[in-house]
Amino acid sequence: MFSLKTGSSKAACTLCPIGAASHVGTGSVCPMVDRRRPAGSTLFVAGAPAEAVYYVKHGSIALSRGGTEALGEGAPHALRRAGSLLGLEAIIRPTYLDSARAISDVTVCVTSRTQMLAWLSETGTSRVVLDCLLATLASDNPSRATTDGSAPQRIARWLLDSTQQRRLPRSVLAGLLGMKPETLSRGLATLVRGGSISATRTRIEILDASLLEAIAGGASRETVARDRSA
């Protein structure tokens, strides 16, 4: 097994699937070491050597594709929260597919590619990794939006698909919506004026779900107002 140097308690590690599979509760140790990173930190860049695998313990991380190690990240296409494994492509390829950037203060557990491969050779560990991946895919929220419809319509659909209040930087939200930041700002302003949402630079809250549903379906604010007064 491997040494663990971490500031977190052993009790917390026993609740983590990686720690549990490593039997940390019975005196064994985990292959991963936890690290804190501030918001805005880059964990890895697309095209860079895939030398480490990450487990998100706390916080949110944006994944983007289309950038390069020289030019930086492209538009975000997904968010990953606590319980997600990142950089697993290191197991089968020499470079990262995505860039990963913290959009909040995060705690991530890290292990080298070599250590992860050795850990995966142990009985039962591959199933743990598979379960983590399936859980991430099943709860992929918010996902990247479609490009059909006007900006307010696309924003409305995306917000209704979400089960949480959005607390995202505008640049990340624009990437997930597949639009330019200025287009996002205009679309949000339209929805705010119409009374369906409130918005700050980092948070969006739904105020009138029925109005937002009508806009998502293609109805104008005026049409909704007429229907309500009829």
For the segment 91-109, the average pLDDT, to the nearest whole number, is: 94
Give residue 207's pLDDT. 92
Residues 127 and 160 in one domain: no
Give residue 85's pLDDT. 93
- Residue 19: inside a domain: yes
Residues 160 and 100 in one domain: no
Residues 21 and 87 in one domain: yes
Tell me: the pLDDT tens digits for 150-203? Answer: 889 989 988 887 755 467 788 888 888 888 889 999 999 999 999 999 988 878
Give residue 3's pLDDT. 31
Give residue 135's pLDDT. 80
Q: What is the 3-state secondary structure (H, E, C) of the chain?
A: CCCCCCCCCHHHHHHCHHHHHCCHHHCCCCCCEEEEECCCCEEECCCCECCEEEEEEECCEEEECCCECCCECCCEEEEECCCCEECHHHHCCCECCCEEEECCCEEEEEEEHHHHHHHHCCCCHHHHHHHHHHHHHHCCCCECCCCCCCHHHHHHHHHHHCCCCECCCHHHHHHHHCCCHHHHHHHHHHHHHHCCEEECCCCEEECCHHHHHHHHCCCCHHHHHHHHHC
Residue 1 has pLDDT above 50, yes or no: no
Tell me: the pLDDT tens digits for 15-64? Answer: 888 988 888 888 888 899 999 999 999 999 999 999 999 999 999 999 99
Q: Domain of 174: which CATH number? A: 1.10.10.10
- Work out the widest C-alpha separation in the chain, in whole angstroms: 71
Give residue 161's pLDDT. 79
Q: Domain of 33: which CATH number? A: 2.60.120.10
- Residue 42: inside a domain: yes
**Residue 65 belongs to what domain range?**
10-138
Place of tokens 């930190």: 41
Residue 210 has pLDDT above 50, yes or no: yes
Residues 19 and 133 in one domain: yes
Give residue 221's pLDDT. 61
* Residue 177 identity: L
Helices 151-161 and 181-194 cross at an angle (nearest 10°) of: 80
Tell me: the pLDDT tens digits for 106-165? Answer: 999 999 999 999 999 887 888 888 888 888 777 665 555 556 788 899 899 888 877 554
- Whether 86 contacts 64, CB under 8 Å: no
- Whether 117 contacts 64, CB under 8 Å: no
Q: What is the 3-state secondary structure (H, E, C) of 31-51?
A: CCEEEEECCCCEEECCCCECC
Strand order in the sheet with 99-102: 42-44, 99-102, 61-64, 76-80
Residue 2 has pLDDT above 70, yes or no: no
Residues 64 and 108 in one domain: yes
Q: Which of 71, 104, 138 is the last residue of a domain?
A: 138
Pick from 167, 51, 61, 47: nearest CA to 108? 61
Q: Which of 105, 138, 171 is the last residue of a domain?
A: 138
pTM here is: 0.74
- Residue 5: inside a domain: no
Give residue 45's pLDDT. 94
Q: Strands 85-86 and 76-80, how do they pair?
A: unpaired
